[in-house]
Amino acid sequence: MSLSFSFTPFLSSFLIIICILQADLASTTKIGKGYRLISIEESPNGGFIGLLQVKQKNKIYGPDIPLLQLYVKHETDNRLRVHITDANKQRWEVPYNLLPREIPPSPKQTIGKSRKDAYTLTSSEYSGNDLIFAYKPDPFTFSIKRRSNGQILFNSTSDESDPYNDLVFKDQYLELSTKLPKEASLYGLGENTQPRGIKLQPYDPYTLYTTDISAINLNTDLYGSHPVYMDLRNVEGEAYAHGVLMLNSNGMDVLYRGNSLTYKVIGGVLDIYFFSGPSPLAVVDQYTAFIGRPAAMPYWAFGFHQCRWGYHNLSVVEDVVDNYKKAKIPLDVIWNDDDHMDGHKDFTLNPITYPRPQLLSFLDKIHAQGMKYIVINDPGIGVNNTYGVYQRAIEKDVFIKYEGKPYLAQVWPGAVNFPDFLNPKTVDWWGDEIRRFHELVPIDGLWIDMNEASNFCTGLCTIPEGRICPNGTGPGWECCLDCKNVTMTKWDDPPYKINASGTEVPIGYKTIATSAYHHNGVLEYDAHSIYGFSQAIATHKALQGLEGKRPFILSRSTFVGSGHYAAHWTGDNKGTWEDLKYSISTMLNFGIFGVPMVGSDICGFYPAPTEELCNRWIELGAFYPFSRDHANFYSPRQELYQWESVAESARNALGMRYKLLPYLYTLNYEAHTTGAPIARPLFFSFSNETKLYDLSTQFLLGSGLMVSPVLEENKTEVKALFPPGSWYNMFDMTKVIFSKETRYVTLDAPLHVINVHLYQNSIISMQQGGLISKEARKTPFALVITFPLGATSGTANGNLFLDDDELPEMKLGTGYSSYVEFYATMNKGSVKVWSGVQESKFALDKGWIIEKVIVLGLHGIGSAFEIKVDGDVVVDTSKVEVSTADHESIERLEDQGGDKMKNVMVEIKGLELSVGKNFAISWNMGIKG
C-alpha cells in the first residue's frame, strides 16, 4: 500500500529544463579556487595518501574544511577508488557493516607523520592494470584514464569558462565535476521516472534522496538512491563502457549538462569508485562484485503474482485464487496489502475479516498446491500501549530518537515510531517480531513498503488531546497529529537546497526530521537514504533464520547494495499508456543498479486502466523479471480474469513465461553469480550498434531473447528495431526476421500478441508450462537451438541451472544443484548437439528429461541420425520422430544478402534424454531445395 494520492504535482519536462538552466546560469559565480596538494606518500595498505589544503576560503554554503585527506587505491585490476575526507576528524560514511568494503586509513593515522618518503609534488600518474589515476597538484585535479587506449573516463579539471567549480568541500556542501566527451552516453542515477528513456538527457534533474513521492512524478527523486552511472562510448566503431559510483547516502543533485557532470552533495565524503568495463556486462559484473551480488530468488518468485490494496476479507482472496484457476491463468503467489491487519498494525491479523483458523486452512490448501502467500509490512510501529509489538519495542529501546524520546510520526496506524535498523538491538527485535508473526501466519515472504521513510506529517509532532487521530472518516494519509516545523538546526535547514520532490521542499518534508538521530548519535540527515536498505538487511537476516529457507523480500526503498537482499517494484504508477512505456526504462535502470528482480504494477496502481491497456500491459508485464498485478483501494478490480480479452492475452503471454521459467531461473543464477541483469538494454549484447543506445521501448531477457511490446493505444502492429542477424519468433518458430544491419521492422501485433524473438547462436531450455511453477517444473524439457538463417556453418550455446530453490544458497557443490552446458555446431552438412553436466546427481534424482529438440535455421535434415548418452550409442530410437517446417521471413532472405535456398525448422520429438547425463545428437543436414 502506498501514498497513492499524496503527491506533489510535477512540472513538464520543458519547464524543468528551463528552471535548471536558469539555476545553472545563476550559479556561475565560482566558489573558491579549489585545493592544492601539499604532500603525498604511499599508504601502508597499498595505494597512496595525500593532503589537500584549501586555496581560498569563502563562506558560500558554509566555511571550507581547510585540510582534506586524499586516498587513492587500485582495489582490483578493474576497480579504482578515490576517497576524499576531512583530514582532522571522522565524517559520516555509509556504514561499513552494511556495505562491506576496505576501510581507508584513518586521518588521525596520517596527520603529523614524517613525510620524508613523500613523492615529488609534480603532475604524476598512478597506474593499475586497467585504469590510470593522473593528478595535478595546484589546483588539485585528477583524471581517470583507460590504460589500453588512453581514453579519459573522468576529468575533474574546471576551466574558468566552465559553469562549475574546482573541488569544493564544506561540512554541508561538497562539489566535484567531470568533463565528458560528446560521444558519451550515460545511464543510471536513479531512482526516477525518466520520460525520455533510459539514456540520461542534458539538464534533466537527477536528485538522489529517498522519497515517498509516487512514480507518476517525472524526473523527481523517488523511493531509491543509486548514485551510479554507466558511461558508454563508441570510438571509431568500437564500444567502451565504464561505471562511476559516488558512494554517499546524503542528499545530492547531479547536474548533467551533456559535456559535463557535477555532483552537489550536502554531506558525508567523496568516495568514488571507477569500474573499467569495458563492456556494459563487465561494468555490472564489477559493480555487483563490489556492492554485493543480487539475491538468489526462489523458483516460485518467477511465477505470476496477484495483489490488491482492498481485499477486504479472506473470502475475497479465496475467490481471486479460484477465479484465476477457472480462467486457466497461471498464478503462483497471492498477496495481501494491509487488509489482513488489525488496525493497520504490523504483525497482526484482523480477527473479523482474516480470522486465523480460516486463514491457516486457506494457506494449507494453497501451500499444498505449491502456491505462496506474501503480506506487506511497513516500518512505522503504532504507538499503542496494548499492542505487544510496540510494548516490546519500547522495552528494547529500538526507536529513532528526537531529544531523547522516540520520534513521533504518522502513517497508516496513526501515530507511529520508527525502528532504528542501525541499532543491533533493533535488528534482533525485528527478527523476533517476524518469527512471532510467522508462527501466527506461515508467510512465504515479506513486502517492506513506506520505508523511505514515509511520514504523513512534517516536523516535530505530538498526539492531539481530545480528538481521535486518525478519526477514520477522512483520507488516511492526511496528517492529524499536532505538529510544528523543525527548522532550528542546520540539519533541518541546510545551506544548499537539493531539488527534493522536484520543488526544493525541505529535506524533512513528509519524512523523519533530519535532526532526529539513530544509534550512536548518527543523524537522520546522513542516514536518511539508507533506511530502506538497513531494513532490507534486517528482514533478510530474520527470514533466513526462520526455517533456513531462501528469503523473498520486496522493498520499495533501495540504496546501493539493496539488490543483495531484496527485489523491487517501481512504486505508484498510473494506468496510462505513458506509464506503460516508462516502466521499461525504470526496469532496465535497476538491472544496472544491481537489482535485477524488478517490475512495475501491471495494469497500473491507479486509476482504472482501459481494457486495451490492461491487455498490452500483461503482455509486457509477463516478461518483467518480477511480474505482479497490483491495484489501489479506490480503483475498480483489475485481476486479469475481469475481462475475457485480458484473460486471453494473459494466457498467451504468461503461458510463454511459464514455459520459459527454466531460462528465467538460469538468468537468476547468472545474476546471482555475475550480476548480469535479467532484463537488459539491447546495447548490452550489441554495444557497437549506436542506434540502440537510446532504445527504451524494447529489451532483452538474457543475452538474446528480445521483447518488443505494443506501447500505444489502438495499434495492431509495432515498429521494432532489430540488430544484425537472425531473430526467431518464439510463438511461431517458423517465422524469422533476418537483418544485415540494425533496422526497423514493422511487426503484426493484434490485441493478444506480444512479439518475442530469440537471437541466433542461442540454446535455451523450456518446459511445457502450467498454472503453477511447481507443476510446470515437473514437465519435460525442450531445447530450442538457433543458427544464423541461411548459413552453412555456425555454433550455438546455452546453459541450465537447476537446484533446490528452498535452500538459502544458490550455488554448485551442495549436492542439491546441477548445471548443464549445451552446445551445437553446424558445419559441412552435419549438425551436432551435445551437453556437458556438472553436479549431475540433483538432476538425476529429480528424473528430468529432455523430450524435444528444436533446431532453427537449417537447410534440412538428412541421414546418419545418431544419439549418444554418456558416450554410448542409443540403439533404440523407435520413439523418436523427426519433422521439418519451412521458415517464413517477412522479406526475402536474398534481399538481405542471404541465399535463395529454403531454410527449415527441424523438430526432434520422442527423446528421453536425462538432463543429468551427457548426451550427443548428430545427423547429416541434407539439402531442402
Q: How far apart are CA 588 and CA 191, in angstroms?
A: 11
Contacts of 23 (CB under 8 A, 6+ apart): none
Give the pLDDT confidence of 168-193 residue by residue, as tens digits. 999 999 999 999 999 999 999 999 99
What's the confidence (pLDDT) of residue 8? 39
What's the confidence (pLDDT) of residue 110? 56
Query: SS3 string of 17-53?
Result: HHHHHHHHHHCCCCCCCCEEEEEEEECCCCCEEEEEE
What's the confidence (pLDDT) of residue 23? 53
Is residue 872 annotated as part of the catalytic site, yes or no?
no
Q: How far apart are CA 704 and CA 798, in angstroms?
A: 11
Give the pLDDT confidence of 579-631 residue by residue, as tens digits. 999 999 999 999 999 999 999 999 999 999 999 999 999 999 999 999 999 99
Is residue 452 annotated as part of the catalytic site, yes or no?
yes
**Whole-prediction pTM:** 0.96
What is the β-pairing status of strands 174-179 and 260-265?
antiparallel
Torsion sign, CA atoms 898, 903, 907, 908: negative
pLDDT-derived band at 901, boundaries 50, 70, 90: low
Q: Which three cell numbers stand for residue 618?
A: 500483461
Torsion sign, CA atoms 82, 88, 92, 97: positive
Predicted confidence (pLDDT) at residue 295 exceeds the cutoff of 50: yes
Q: How far is CA 59 from the centre of its chain?
A: 40
CB atoms inside a 10 Å sphere around CB 519: 17
CB atoms inside a 10 Å sphere around CB 182: 7
Q: How far is CA 71 from the centre of its chain?
A: 30
Q: Which residues pair with 340 in a beta bridge?
A: none
What's the confidence (pLDDT) of residue 24? 59
Q: How far apart are CA 627 and CA 654, in angstroms?
A: 9
Mean pLDDT value across the chain? 93
Predicted confidence (pLDDT) at residue 645 exceeds the cutoff of 90: yes
Predicted confidence (pLDDT) at residue 262 exceeds the cutoff of 70: yes
What's the confidence (pLDDT) of residue 17? 53
Predicted confidence (pLDDT) at residue 12 exceeds the cutoff of 70: no
pLDDT-derived band at 41, boundaries 50, 70, 90: very high
Q: How far apart are CA 50 and CA 91, in angstroms?
A: 17
What's the confidence (pLDDT) of residue 634? 86
Q: How far apart are CA 219 and CA 502, in angstroms?
A: 7
Mean pLDDT is lowest, of 62-71, 119-128, 493-502, 529-538, for 119-128
Predicted confidence (pLDDT) at residue 771 exceeds the cutoff of 60: yes
Contacts of 276 (CB under 8 A, 6+ apart): 78, 79, 80, 130, 131, 146, 242, 282, 286
Mean pLDDT is lowest, of 479-483, 738-742, 861-865, for 861-865
- Mean predicted confidence (pLDDT) in 639-664: 98
Q: Which residue has the higher pLDDT, 109 or 45?
A: 45
What's the confidence (pLDDT) of residue 9? 37
pLDDT-derived band at 900, boundaries 50, 70, 90: low
Q: How far apart are CA 81 and CA 441, in angstroms?
A: 46
Residue 748 Cα distances to 381, 533, 717, angstroms? 52, 43, 4
Q: Above pLDDT 90, what percent of the chain?
A: 87
pLDDT-derived band at 116, boundaries 50, 70, 90: very low
Predicted confidence (pLDDT) at residue 113 exceeds the cutoff of 70: no
Q: Which three cell numbers stand for residue 123?
A: 603532475
> Which residue has 570510438 as its cell numbers?
235
Which of 535, 531, 487 lies closest to 513 in space, CA to CA?
487
Q: Which three cell numbers stand for residue 782?
A: 525442450
> Which residue has 547531479 as its cell numbers?
254
CB atoms inside a 10 Å sphere around CB 895: 10
Is residue 478 annotated as part of the catalytic site, yes or no?
no
What is the β-pairing status of strands 627-629 and 226-235?
unpaired
Which of 925, 926, 928, 924 lies closest to 899 in space, CA to CA?
928
- Contact criterion met (CB below 8 Å) for 536 and 566: yes
pLDDT-derived band at 3, boundaries 50, 70, 90: very low
What's the confidence (pLDDT) of residue 704? 97
Predicted confidence (pLDDT) at residue 894 exceeds the cutoff of 70: no
Query: SS3 string of 890-907?
Result: CCCHHHHCCCCCCCEEEE
What's the confidence (pLDDT) of residue 108? 62
Predicted confidence (pLDDT) at residue 121 exceeds the cutoff of 80: no
- Contact criterion met (CB below 8 Å) for 925 and 833: no
- Mean predicted confidence (pLDDT) in 505-523: 97
Which of 862, 850, 864 lies closest to 913 in space, CA to CA?
850
- Contact criterion met (CB below 8 Å) for 631 and 603: yes
Give the pLDDT confidence of 829-848 residue by residue, as tens digits. 899 999 999 999 999 999 99
What's the confidence (pLDDT) of residue 699? 98
- Contact criterion met (CB below 8 Å) for 920 and 834: yes
- Catalytic site residue from 452, 639, 805, 851: 452
Predicted confidence (pLDDT) at residue 677 exceeds the cutoff of 70: yes
- Contact criterion met (CB below 8 Å) for 729 and 755: yes
Predicted confidence (pLDDT) at residue 25 exceeds the cutoff of 50: no
Q: What is the DSSP letter of 690?
A: G
What's the confidence (pLDDT) of residue 214? 84
Which of 679, 723, 693, 686 lies closest to 589 in space, CA to CA?
679
Q: How far apart are CA 568 and CA 589, in angstroms?
A: 12
- Catalytic site residue from 93, 212, 342, 572: 572
What's the confidence (pLDDT) of residue 10? 39
Quote the Cα angle for 557-561-563, to 5°. Answer: 70
Torsion sign, CA atoms 641, 644, 645, 648: positive
Predicted confidence (pLDDT) at residue 927 exceeds the cutoff of 60: no
Residue type, 129: N
- Mean predicted confidence (pLDDT) in 53-66: 97
Q: Compute φ and ψ for 668, nearest 5 degrees.
A: -60, -40
Predicted confidence (pLDDT) at residue 643 exceeds the cutoff of 60: yes
| 105 upstream amide cis, omega within 30 of 0 | no
What's the confidence (pLDDT) of residue 476? 78
- Mean predicted confidence (pLDDT) in 263-272: 98
Predicted confidence (pLDDT) at residue 929 exceeds the cutoff of 60: no
Give the pLDDT confidence of 852-876 residue by residue, as tens digits. 999 999 987 777 789 999 999 998 8
Q: How far is CA 426 from the centre of its chain?
A: 27
Give the pLDDT confidence of 323-346 residue by residue, as tens digits. 999 999 999 999 999 999 999 999
- Catalytic site residue from 130, 378, 433, 449: 449
